[in-house]
Chain A
């Protein structure tokens, strides 16, 4: 069934369904403990480790775990900032798969097949003053605040159990979500940043990593819509590496639990990535459902090619080719920027 993803600020119904489902998943026992999860992952990735306390994990926690494992697993050949979900071409399709699986769980746990992920059009808030940006209705009335522990609203019921400290994944005593908006960087991306990213005609280019489209050498001058929206290059001045931009900048601006690899702890992770996915749809509406690299591209990284299976810890894996057209799962109410 196809659902419609809507703006969290303009659709009361979409917002309530999402928040309700999030809290239910965050309280649903997945039937697996931290040590069991560690052993499961180690069965395929021998050096994977977890630290901390033994405790039951929720379904929400498992999505956090999935993100960390993908983020801390490399592909070959090595690339700057690249892993099985980030810093390379698979960034957008892998997160599309990740969001589809979470959306399906929201539909299951709410018993409502119409439940859809909403998006946060953060570039609209980026037009506000730096002091206004953390004080919008999104933070004050919906998400439980932009600074400090989340202690009000429905998300006050959520607890962080998996936390990445440096290079290590910890199972920690349950604690509230925390944010520190506007501290590590003062402002959100602006509409002109988004418009500039959309001007890239190529989805991605060699070296297929965080240097793509940086233009600092002859090898990195190819356009990369992916690297512009991921945020390792400045979309307004192609050819310059000036992170964090767009997606990265949203993580850094919110800070707190959005900073480490366990960022899917915070439901705003999904609002950010749903908007990233919407921008990808907007790009494809202009440029066609094109993806690079193909399967025979020289030096294309493993796990990032058109027909490579994407890493899936939960649910079935798909390839980038299988998710280029998402119409069997969802559509967006609005692709305007």
Chain B
């Protein structure tokens, strides 16, 4: 494999050992449960995301289901929105962010990602 710089004193941490599990797609996945795509209940498909918030209050069970259908220039938002219990909105593509409204999130999406793909898609032929 290219790029190897094996040093006898670092046998336990050499690059080849590091890459062993990459070739297998990684290890430690929960058996039969893990799946790709930003997780969480909100999901996100074709710009539509649904969040469910629940709470118990004075012996009553409260349930609030929120569905967003978000577009930018008419195109569905790629990825899901989620509502936190305090009403802040989270977008899976900006994983540390949660802001006051979905409009604010979409402004951030435009600021950070624009609306054009960042590269020509040559990998499409491999998918």
**Interface 0/1 of A33-60, CB less than 8 Å to B:** 0110111111111111111111000010
Q: Which residues of A contact B124 (CB under 8 A)?
A: 51
**Nearest chain-B residue to A55 (Cβ)?**
B122
Does the CB pair B25–A42 fall under 8 Å? yes
Taking the closest CB of chain A, its distance from the CB of B110, in whole angstroms, is: 11
A260 within 8 A of B: yes
B118 lies within 8 A of A165 (CB): yes
Nearest A residue to B42 via CB reads A80
Contact B23 A52 (CB under 8 A): no
Report whether B96 and A259 are in contact in the complex, using a CB–CB cutoff of 8 Å: yes
Any chain A CB within 8 A of the CB of B26? Answer: yes
> Taking chain B's interface residues, is the majority helix, strand, or loop, or is none over half, making it mixed?
loop
Q: In the complex, what residues of B have CB within 8 A of residue A219's CB?
A: 54-56
Once the chains bind, are A312 and B55 in contact (CB under 8 Å)?
no
Q: Which of B3-39 contact A (CB under 8 A)?
A: 3-5, 7, 9-10, 12-15, 17-30, 33-39
Task: Using known A-B contacts A81-B90, A244-B97, A312-B26, determine if residue A172 contacts B38 with beta carbons closer than 8 Å.
Answer: no
**Interface positions of A from 238 to 275, Cβ below 8 Å from B:** 240-244, 247-249, 251-252, 255, 259-261
Chain B binder among A100-108, A137-145, A194-202, A276-284? A100-108
A80 to B40, CA, bound (A): 5
Q: How far is the CA of A109 from the CA of B4 in the complex (A)?
A: 10
Give the residues in chain A near B57, CB-CB below 8 Å: 217-218
Q: Indicate if the CB atoms of B34 and A303 lie closer than 8 Å.
A: yes
Choice from B23, B98, B112 contacting A232 with Cβ under 8 Å: B98
A20 at the interface (CB under 8 A from B): no
Interface size class of A (residues with CB under 8 A): 35 or more
Contact of A313 among B14, B15, B22, B123 (CB under 8 A): B22
Is A235 an interface residue when CB atoms closer than 8 A count as contact?
Answer: no
Known: A171-B123, A252-B97, A303-B28. A314 touches B19 (CB 8 A): yes
Report the minimal beta-carbon distance from A95 to chain B, rounded to whole angstroms. Answer: 13
B-side contacts of A49, CB under 8 Å: 36, 127
Q: Is A31 touching B97 in the complex (CB atoms < 8 A)?
A: no
Check B122 against A167 for contact (C-beta < 8 Å).
Answer: no
* A211 interface residue per 8 A CB criterion: yes
Establish whether residues B84 and A241, one from each chain, have CB atoms under 8 Å apart when the complex forms.
yes
In the assembled complex, 18 residue pairs joining A and B whose CB atoms fall closer than 8 Å, in A order, are A32-B22, A43-B25, A73-B34, A73-B35, A78-B41, A81-B82, A164-B93, A166-B77, A166-B113, A167-B80, A167-B92, A170-B119, A218-B57, A240-B86, A241-B85, A302-B33, A303-B29, A317-B27
Q: B interface vs A, CB < 8 Å? A: 1-5, 7, 9-10, 12-15, 17-30, 33-41, 44, 51, 54-57, 62, 77-80, 82, 84-86, 88, 90, 92-98, 108-109, 112-113, 117-124, 126-127
